[in-house]
Each structure stands twice: as C-alpha cells, then as structure tokens.
Amino acid sequence: MAIFACSMLVLRAVAAGGARQRLGRFAEGRAAPAQRRAGRLAALAKLARPLVRLSIPDQGWEKTALPKQFLNAGLRNPHAPAMYFAAKTMLAIVAPSLLWLILLKAAPEMRGSAAIFCLLGAAAAGFYLPNIALARAGKAYQRKIFEQFPDSLDLLIVCLEAGLALDAAIGRVARELASSAPEVSDELHLVTLELRAGSSREKALRNLATRTGVDGIDTLVAMLIQAERFGTSTAESLRAYADELRTKRRQLAEETAAKVALKLLFPLIFCIFPALLLVLLGPAMIQIYRAFLPALPG
C-alpha cells in the first residue's frame, strides 16, 4: 500500500508538472508570435526606409485622418505607417513595370500616348491600392468588434452584478475574451492600461470610441459616462443596450442575407443560365440541324 501510494503521488506530481509546462508553453506561444511579427516588421521597416521617403509627406500627415484609419483597423505598431507608405511606393513602381512587360509580349505594336496612358494608370492604381486595402481592413476590424461586443457586454454585466467595480470588470472581461474575441479583448485591455496609467475613466472610454470607430460604442461610452455622473444603475443600462446591439446585429445579418439574391443575379444571368441552356438545348439543336440539313437547298 505504501509503494502504491508513493507511486500515485509521483505520477500526480509528474502530471501536474506536465500540465504546468503545457500551460506555460501555451502562454508563451501566444506572446511569441506577436513578438516575432513585431521584430520582422521592424526589420522590414528598416529595409524599406528609402521607399518610405519617396511617398511619405514631409510634414502634417499625422494631423490627417490616416492615423485614425490605422487605429480603426487595429494597426497600432509604430512601423505600420512606414510599411504603408513603402507599399505605396513599391506598387507604384512594380505595377507599371509588370504592365510594360505584359504589353511587350501581348501587344508589341502599342506605342506612344496609349502605352504611356496605360502605364500611368497602372502606377496610379498601384499607388492607391494600399488606401483600399487599409479601408477594407478597417471595415473588417470594425465588423468583428460590432459582432463580438454584445456578448462582451453580457459578460461585463455578470461581473458588475457579482460586485466588481467597472474598472475591475473591464479588466476581467478583457482577460476572459482573450481567446474568443481577441479584438474586443485588446481594446478593453488598452482601456485598462489607460486607467492604470492615471487617465480618467471618461477619457479612457472616449479613447475607446475613437480607436474603434464603431457607431454603437460611442453611444455606449456616452451612456456609461452619464450613468457614472448621475449614479444610475450601470448594469441595467448595459443590459438594455446589449439587447439593442444584438437587435442591430440580427438586422445587419438579415440585410446581408437579403442582398444575396441581388448579388447572384449577374452570375446567374450571364454565367450559369447560358451554360444550362447550352447543355439542355444543345443536343436538340444538333439533332434538328442534322434532320433539316439534307432538305436545305444547295
């Protein structure tokens, strides 16, 4: 019995140590890719510095809407603007170069103003392609936050009703959503960091609305600020607003589903229906042609 008990204790200790090691590897695995990506991005930004100088404005671009677009897309790395302007320069050079090579092979007779116009158009398209990519990334990031936020509010309500203060509840929700809703978790974690740094709750929440750019979050921030000023129940306000956001999410899904039929109209008419008619009527047309061909004059 003593040997059996000692064996069980040893196996339990080994299993606990293995579990701790797996948890440690999991935590390190979540942080290591981000560190590696940041290191690679810094190295690329250093290599692309000559390209950045060709397209970045000399001054004043920090006061434009571009920094806010980076925030709305979730791109907070300090090297992201450098890579953005480097991509604009590179695409403005590579796109016309590739088009010129294609024209040499496909249309060698094209010369003069037509070729110059095509090359300039390719350069302009390559220069503005990062703008389109950044706008699409921002919309995708905002869409994820909009879809994940009602569930985050439900978890925040549970934390508030359990007795946590709003600041502690935001930090707890940020930790709990790290794997299921990483976008919302990152935003709430930044709010927690601002509060720990000494920023007021109102300023931290308004910064959250500015960073995300989602329509519903600015209303939520205003509601939380008013609830704090007038001493109303924050949990009840959040519950009502979570239901409203969930209704908006369902309406957006229904609107997207209703647009599917209209989007399928063009491929149905011009791609699927002609092929279907060809398959259905093709054999009949061939038989009719063969039957009436001997009767045709000449």
> Which long-range contacts (C-beta less than 8 Å, at least 24 apart) are formed by 29-33?
30/178
Q: Is residue 159 part of a domain?
A: yes
- C-alpha to C-alpha distance for 171 and 67, rounded to whole angstroms: 26
In a domain, 5, yes or no: no
pTM of the model: 0.71
Other Cβ atoms less than 10 A from the Cβ of 47: the count is 10
Q: Which two tokens stand for residue 120?
A: 């300039």
> Does residue 109 have a pLDDT over 80?
no
> Which of 226-239 are b and which e, b meaning 16 or more Cβ less than 10 Å from the residue's Cβ?
ebeeeeeebbebbb
Closest Cα to residue 212, out of 63, 71, 75, 77? 71
pLDDT band at 22 (very low <50, low <70, confident <90, very high): very low
Distance CA 196, CA 191 (A): 9
Is 272 contained in some domain? no
Domain interval for residue 198: 144-250
User: Residue 194 domain-assigned?
Assistant: yes
pLDDT tens-digit readout, 237-267: 788 888 888 888 888 888 888 888 888 888 8
Q: What radius of gyration do the chain's Cα atoms show?
A: 30
**Residue 183 within any structural domain of the chain:** yes
CATH number, domain of 194, equals: 1.20.81
Higher-pLDDT residue of 158, 31 = 158
pLDDT per position as a tens digit, 116-154? 888 888 889 988 998 999 999 999 999 888 888 888 888
The answer to whether residue 285 sits within a structural domain is no
pLDDT of residue 48: 66
Split at pLDDT 50, 70, 90, the class of 18 is very low
Higher pLDDT, 96 or 36: 96
What is the DSSP secondary-structure string of 51-82?
A: HHHHHS-SS-GGGSSHHHHHHHTT---TTHHH
- Split into its structural domains, the chain has a count of 1
174-209 pLDDT, tens digit per residue, is 998 888 888 889 999 999 999 898 888 889 989 988
Q: What's 164's DSSP letter?
A: -
More confident residue, 22 or 193: 193
- Those residues whose C-beta lies under 8 Å from the C-beta of residue 94, and which sit 6 or more positions away, are 126
